[in-house]
C-alpha cells in the first residue's frame, strides 16, 4: 500500500456488495461520491481522518 493511502471495505447501500475504496489521508476529512463497481449507483462516502489515520468511513445513498 502506498504511503498516505488507506484502504477500507464498505458495503454498497444499494446492492450490499462489499467494495474496497482507497482514501487519501493527506487530504483530511472528506466527503465524495463514488459509483458502485457492481450496480453503478452513486454512493456518498464520508471519511473522517485524524492525524493521518482513517477513523471512520460512512457509506450512504447520495440522494
Ligand atoms: Zn452497489
Q: Which of 53, 25, 36, 15 is nearest to 45 (CA)?
A: 36
- Tell me what pLDDT residue 3 has: 75
Instruction: Note the pLDDT of residue 43.
Output: 98
Distance 51 CA to ligand 1 centre (A): 30
Query: 16 CA to middle of ligand 1, Å?
Result: 6
SS3 category, 46: strand
Contact 20, 8 (CB under 8 A): yes
Distance, CA 13 to ligand 1 centroid (Å)? Answer: 7
- Average pLDDT, integer, range 17-22: 96
Domain that holds residue 28: 5-61
Number of domains in the chain: 1
Distance 19 CA to ligand 1 centre (A): 8
Cell 482514501 identifies what position? Answer: 23
Q: What pLDDT is stored for residue 1 in this prediction?
A: 47
Measure 30 CA to ligand 1 centroid, in angstroms.
Answer: 21
How do residues 31-63 score in pLDDT, each as one tens digit? 999 999 999 999 999 999 999 999 999 999 998
Cell of 46: 464520508
Q: Residue holding cell 464498505?
A: 10
For 43, other C-beta atoms within 10 Å of its C-beta total 22
Amino acid at each position: 500500500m502506498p504511503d498516505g493511502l488507506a484502504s477500507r471495505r464498505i458495503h454498497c447501500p444499494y446492492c450490499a456488495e462489499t467494495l474496497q475504496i482507497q482514501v487519501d489521508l493527506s487530504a483530511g476529512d472528506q466527503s465524495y461520491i463514488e459509483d458502485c463497481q457492481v450496480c453503478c449507483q452513486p454512493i456518498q462516502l464520508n471519511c473522517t481522518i485524524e492525524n493521518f489515520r482513517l477513523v471512520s468511513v460512512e457509506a450512504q445513498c447520495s440522494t
